[in-house]
Amino acid sequence: MNTSRRRVVLALGSSLLVPLMGADALAQTASRADRTFEALGNRWLDRSMRFSPVSATAIGDHRFDRNVDDVSAAGRNASLRFTRDTLRQLEAIDKSQLSRANQVDYELLANSLRAQIWQTETWQTWAWNPMGYQSIAGGALYGLMAREFAPLPQRLESAIYRLEKMPRLLEQARAALVPSRVPAPHAATYAAQNPGLKSIVSGMIEPHKGELSASKQRRLERAIAAFNTAVDEHQTWITQTLVPAAQADFRAGAEVFDTQLGYTLLSNLSRQDIRRRADAAVASVREEMYRVSKTALAGHPGAPATPDTPTAEQQQAVIRAALDIAAADRPARNRLVEDATAATEEARRFLIERDLITLPEGPVRVIMMPEFQRGVAVAYCDSPGPLERNLDTFYAISPIPDDWSEEQATSFLREYNSRAILDIGVHEAMPGHYVQIYHSNRYPSTLRAVLGSGSFVEGWAVYAEEMMIENGFRANDPLYRLSQLKVQLRTITNAIIDQAIHVDGMTQDQMMTFLTQTAFQEEREAAGKWRRAQLSVTQLSTYFVGFQEHLETRVAARQKQGAAFNLKAYHDGVLSFGSPPGRFARQLLLDEPIQ
């Protein structure tokens, strides 16, 4: 077993001493508790990978590369029983007797198990969210072909088996989904993404069929034909049955949102706490944007007045005027990948020059986003699983759709102008997601890697943008700082609209006004965010909350270490624990009690 045999690091501390218990007896007790927890964690990993072969492939466990997930009611119920049984066994362990490392992993596993039970039984995402099935179907094939974890013929043969099982998977998805419970935006996005499954086959599998023997080629061709037919049949069902009936409310409501927020963040911050912090941060960042805009506009003919104490209208006009100058310097419609590649290299050279963090040896590969994954995010970082650390990392960028008008394309490129592309390269790659996941994958607990925190990961990437500025990146270019602040403002408003839409009933028009005016976003960016906010619940809050946690942890580390504080050592240190929620990373780094 590749995954479940990886041992969780044990680091027994002296803080567990109990009166009247000798040190030897305590060590035996702690060791016994750790062994029990480790065995349970390994069993959970092993069975979870059996229940989800597509996830197993993604993390680098290739025992099940020929299988796909069973998303039928029987498969779902079997997984639920296993989850409940695991939680019962976990709660029987005295977590106070665990090592500090295992206390953290205990909390992560307990949170994940409770979330799975709630999502299956109460929220019932399997009945109304088709995007989960799209992720499984696309990932089943893409995960086999994107990275060279095994010889090509071996991966192609696994693809044959999965292709042959795909019609059944799509049939199970149709049986599970209840069209009347599916929100319209989810159905529309599903309808747009489903045909992209065929592009994985035509672009990543068919060109290499010559690597197979003649008999296996014939089997592959039969599997592809059946797969294409199944995808077409599924598309017919989506367009003729699902889309017309999909009229459910996409808004989560306060109870669901707050419950999911707790599972997503594993933070002490409530929805109300986040909103208060975000509102204050919007005002603070806009003030800084005004200050930077004054510098950027100095000497520009026709620039608006820049008084030291501006009115709200003057602040808006000045920031907008400076952003318009930045927006005019934008990449060509067909050169996003090339420009993003150059941006990540510029950031990499700066990090080496300033020695700010330990970097991976290999480069990140900038690619065009696969068709089956488009329509939600503009860019993402796709790192190898924790069991395959030396394989390629992809920084994927969504192309401008061919059917967009020149006006729509210009709107998009004004938002993702040359300086914004550079900042996003910092976020996604250098030293954002690519570098952080590289450090995370070096941590020896596969359990923690599988249960990594989205707020830690996204928060680090936002922190990385700010940290680069603090250390002089593009120091002589105020328009870059302005562009970075605009992106930071986006992360803050993400958290606001996340709850405002799902709980407070914010309309599309209200959100568009808020994002285009308060956050200075272009129309295409704001319109895309409306779709993304409809499709996700609480994920948009992870950026701001994680960013706040990273900033607070650095402040605490600097206060504790005083003159001995070293930024590179801090960065390598805080990233050395994998990707736990921010509060646990802080507790581990600063030797605080695990709470």
- 3-class DSSP state of 381: strand
Residue-wise pLDDT tens digits, 85-139: 999 999 999 999 999 999 999 999 999 999 999 999 999 999 999 999 999 999 9
First-to-last alpha carbon distance for the chain, in angstroms, is 32
What is the overall mean pLDDT for the chain? 91
Residue-wise pLDDT for 64-95, tens only, equals 999 999 999 999 999 999 999 999 999 999 99
Identify the weakest region by mean pLDDT among 9-13, 58-62, 352-356, 420-424: 9-13
pLDDT (tens digit, 9 = 90+) per residue, 488-532? 999 999 999 999 999 999 999 999 999 999 999 989 889 999 999
pLDDT at residue 396 tops 90? no
- Average pLDDT over every residue of 216-225: 98
What pLDDT does 377 receive? 56
pLDDT in tens, 148-160: 899 999 999 999 9
**What is the distance between the alpha carbons of residues 416 and 427, in angstroms, rounded to a whole number?**
13
Q: Which two tokens stand for residue 226?
A: 């059946």
pLDDT by residue (tens digit) across 415-450?
Answer: 888 999 899 899 999 999 989 988 998 899 999 999
Distance between CA atoms of 529 and 498, rounded to whole angstroms? 10
Residue boundaries of the structural domains of the chain: 14-123, 128-245, 325-589
Residue 8: the pLDDT is: 26
Give pLDDT tens digits for 243-299.
999 999 999 999 999 999 999 999 989 999 999 999 999 999 999 999 999 999 998
The DSSP H or E segment spanning 389 is: none
Please tell me the predicted confidence (pLDDT) of residue 30. 55
E strand segments, 249-316: none
**483 and 238 in contact (C-beta within 8 Å)?**
no
Confidence of residue 344 (pLDDT cuts 50, 70, 90): confident
pTM: 0.89
How many C-beta atoms surround the C-beta of residue 314 within 10 A? 15
- pLDDT score of 205: 97
Q: Are 380 and 425 in contact (CB under 8 A)?
A: no
Per-residue pLDDT, 392: 76
Cα diameter, the chain: 80
Strands of the 379-382 sheet, one edge to the other: 365-368, 394-397, 379-382
The residue that leads in pLDDT, 12 or 486, is 486
Q: What is the mean pLDDT of residues 333-360?
A: 90
Distance CA 512, CA 55 (A): 36
Nearest Cα to Cα of residue 572 among 400, 384, 367, 356:
356
